[in-house]
Structure 1
C-alpha cells in the first residue's frame, strides 16, 4: 500500500497581475522523503514555496495535509500544520547569540523572567541530538561560518517539531566541507521521518540526498524523476526544455574536446 503524502498539491495555480507564475501544479511529499524541486530561473520554485509556507496563498487548486483538504492563507497556518521554512537569507539576527536566535519569539520565561539556563540547555540538547557541532552557543551568529549559520537556522525551524521542512538553496553559499555537513543533516532529518522539500540548482547535492526530483518549467510540472534511475541528461533536458539527445550530444562533444 502506498504511503499517504504529508503534503499534496492538486492543480495549484498562482497569478501576479498579468504574470501566470504557477499553472495546475501537482506535487506530493511524504514523511521520510527528500524531494528536490528544480527548475530554471523564473520557473516558479520560489512562488511554490511561498504558496506552501503561506506567504503567497494559491489562487486555485487544492492543498491536502495528510489526505485532508486544508487552506494555507498565512505563515501561521503552515506553522500550525507542522510546515517550517528556511529561506536562503536565513533571517538571522547577527547581534544575538545562537540561543537568542533559536528562541527569538519563543522565549521561555520563569516567574516573569527570561529562563536563559533552560533555553541554553534545550539548545545544547537539540544540537547534540542532530550531531551539530557549535563550539560556543553564546557566540553571536555573526562570528559563525556560513555552514554553522545555516544549521542554526535549520535547528531553529525544528523547535516547533515540524513534519515538513522547506529548504531554499541551503548550500548556495557554502564550501565543500560545510555542504557535506549540511547534507548529512538533511539525511538525518529524513531518517527521523520528516518530509523535506529541497530547492537547489546543485545537481550533485540533489543526487546525494534526494529521493525524487520534481521539475518546474515556466510554472508548470515538467516531470518527476526517481534519483536512482533517472540520468542527469534526462533531468537537465526537462529543466531546459531541450531534448535528451541534444543534451547528451553536448555532453559527449564536451568530453571529446576536453584537453
Structure 2
C-alpha cells in the first residue's frame, strides 16, 4: 500500500460529495500552514482528519468554520462553489463546528445552552416550546441527559459533549465538524460520544472527526484523511488500513531517507 496515494472515494460514482475542497492553502507570514490540501465528505459518512501537532488540522477546520480565509483554493458545497467569510456564513451554509472547548455556559441549564442566541418565541421567550424541542433533539441522539433543566456545570464530560453536539444540530446542518470530542474523557463517556457520532451518520449527516485517538478513529470513521506538515499524506478506507499504516502516514515513516533509498534501489532479496 502506498500511504501517500489517494484511494478511490466511496460511492463517488453514485453521488457527489456534500463538501469538497481543492488546493486549499493558507499561510501566516513565512509559515505555510496548509499547502494544496484536498478533502471530500459525503452524506452519511464519518471522515477522520488526523495528523501530528502542527499538521494543519486546526487551520483547515477554522477555514471551514469561517474563522480564517484560505489564501487560494476552492470550496464546493452541494456541487456549487462557495466562500466562507465568517462563522455566520459557515452556519448558514450548513456547516456546524463543535470546538474542543465546547463554548458552553456552565451556569445555564441545558435548554438555555441549546437555544442561546436562537431563543424561540414571538415577543416573549417560549420556554415550554424550547424544552419540548430540547427533549425531541436529545431523544433523536439517544442522549443520556437526566434533565434539560439541570445546569451544565453538573453534567459529566460526555454529557457536556452531548449538549454541544445537540446545539450544533438546531440549524439543520449537513456537515458537522467535531474537534477532539473524546479528549480527556473516560472509557464510558468516550463510548457515549462515539454512539452520538454514529447517530449523526444515521441521520445522513457528513461528519468530520478530528482526533488523536486511533482507537476512536477506527471505531467510527469510514475514511481517514492524513495531514502531514500541511499537506495531504494519505486517504484510506478504515476497513482496509491498519493502525500501523495510519501512524506511518502521520509520522512520515514512509518517506524517510532510508525507506526512500530502499524503494529506489531494491535489494537482491526484494527482487526474488
Whether these two folds match at TM > 0.5 is: yes
Say whether residues 1:202 and 2:208 are aligned partners: no
| Residue matched to 1:89 | 101
Q: CA RMSD in A?
A: 1.5
Task: Decide whether the 8 Å contact of 1:13 with 1:59 is kept in 2.
Answer: yes
Say whether residues 1:15 and 2:33 are aligned partners: no
Aligned length: 246
14, 17, 29: which one aligns with 1:5: 17
User: What SS is found at the alignment partner of 2:32?
Assistant: strand
Task: After superposition, give the CA deviation of every residue in 1:54-92 in whole Å (9 maximum; x if it has no partner).
Answer: 110111000000111111111111111110000000000
| Residue matched to 1:60 | 72
- The farther-off stretch of 193-202 and 122-131 is 122-131
Mapped partners of 2:255, 2:83: distance in 1: 38
Say whether residues 1:239 and 2:246 are aligned partners: no
Q: Which runs of 5+ in 2 are unaligned?
A: 1-12, 260-272
User: What SS is found at the alignment partner of 2:169?
Assistant: helix
User: What SS is found at the alignment partner of 1:109?
Assistant: coil
| Residue matched to 1:79 | 91
User: What SS is found at the alignment partner of 1:43?
Assistant: coil
Mapped partners of 2:41, 2:155: distance in 1: 32
| Residue matched to 1:252 | none
**1:23 and 1:244, CA in 2 relative to 1: closer, same or farther beyond 3 A?**
closer
Task: After superposition, give the CA deviation of every residue in 1:39-58 in whole Å (9 maximum; x if it has no partner).
Answer: 00000000000011111011
88, 105, 120: which one aligns with 1:108: 120
Within 5 Å, give how 1:131-146 maps onto structure 2: 131-146=142-157
38, 45, 54: which one aligns with 1:26: 38
The TM-score, its normalising length taken from structure 2, stands at: 0.88
User: What SS is found at the alignment partner of 2:119?
Assistant: coil
87, 110, 128: which one aligns with 1:98: 110
Say whether residues 1:222 and 2:233 are aligned partners: yes
| Residue matched to 2:130 | 119
Cα deviation for residue 244 of structure 1 reads: 9.2
| Residue matched to 2:60 | 48
Task: Decide whether the 8 Å contact of 1:222 with 1:239 is kept in 2.
Answer: yes
Cα deviation for residue 243 of structure 1 reads: 3.0
Say whether residues 1:192 and 2:228 are aligned partners: no
Mapped partners of 2:124, 2:21: distance in 1: 43
Q: Which runs of 5+ in 1 are unaligned?
A: 248-259
